[in-house]
Amino acid sequence: MTATDNLDNQALSSVTAAEARLLIRDGRYQGQTAGLAPGYLQANLAILPQENALDFMRFCQRNPKPCPLVGVSETGDPMLPTLGHDINIRSDVPAYNVYRNGVLDETVNDIADLWRDDFVTFALGCSFTFEHALVKAGIPLWHFQHRKTVPMYRSNIMTRAAGPFGGETVVTMRALHPDKVDEAHEICRRYPLAHGAPLHVGDPGAIGIDDLYQPQWGDVPPPIGDHIPVYWACGVTPQNAIVRARLPLSITHRPGHMLLTDIDEQAEVPVI
């Protein structure tokens, strides 16, 4: 198989993280990663020049809820041995966003031609990890069932700035039945490396969201009906901070297209 459409999300749902990374590396899968590699931690991605790396690390440390740091590369090294065997960050993510001067310039499926000797890679925990636990507990998730990307919104919850990095916290939204909200909170708090418990429940206006059906990222959710919107901190928050910093060149994952690691999803302490 060579065409990316020959493998869909459902076809990869039963393979390991390492097997999925090889398919991604070979260009056989370039889709979103929700539901893939159950049992393994998924990670958001930020690749920055070394001169900005220390400030970005401070930003993550000051904002652990949206930016749970799980891995950092050596300067100029595209491999991430603490997160899994033979992870090559230049090719093992389904899709990358490339920003120039804070503007999204292109989305690509491989960054080998863009790689620089001064790049530092940061991997941050992702909410896709705790979704497996929610589904296993019998809590249905619309985007998970329909192989969509979770809706994401820029909230009015401000992060703590570090150097040029700052701005609003980005949140994900999952509509849950009222009877399931407390259970979801208890499940998610067990996953501190995947954003942990929700930040907010209920009124979207209270956190600065004007319209649930116009997310800034991800897919438009269906009508909520008798469900309640529940919001978690999101790993797109550092992308928002990177855009505001207007770096000459920076690279992130495309929202919803994560790095699949070999780390147990229930890990509580990162091996950075």
111-165: per-residue pLDDT in tens? 999 999 999 999 998 887 788 889 889 998 888 778 788 899 999 999 999 999 9
- Mean pLDDT of all residues in 156-184: 96
For residue 230, count other CB atoms closer than 10 A to its CB.
22
Secondary structure in 3-state letters for 231-260: EEECCCHHHHHHHHHCCCCEEEECCCCCEE
What whole-number percentage of the chain has pLDDT above 90?
A: 72
Phi, psi of 53 (to 5 degrees): -65, -40
Helices within 34-180 (DSSP H only): 50-62, 128-136, 142-145
Residue 9's pLDDT is what? 66
Q: Is the pLDDT of residue 255 over 90?
A: no
Q: How many CB atoms lie under 10 A from the CB of residue 212?
A: 16
User: What residues are paired with 28 via a beta bridge?
Assistant: none
Query: Which pLDDT score is estimated for 70?
Result: 92
pLDDT exceeds 80 at position 13:
no
Parse the chain into domains and list their residue ranges. 4-127+246-264, 136-233
Residue 170's DSSP bridge partners are 154
Give the closest residue to 41 by CA, choosing from 271, 263, 270: 263
Give the pLDDT confidence of 193-225 residue by residue, as tens digits.
Answer: 889 999 999 999 999 999 999 999 989 999 999
Q: What is the pTM of this model?
A: 0.86
Return the CATH superfamily for domain 136-233.
Answer: PSTPO5379-like domain (3.30.2040.10)
Confidence band, pLDDT 50/70/90 cuts, at residue 6? low
Average pLDDT over residues 65-88: 94
pLDDT surpassing 50 at residue 51: yes
Domain 4-127+246-264: CATH class, spelled out: alpha beta
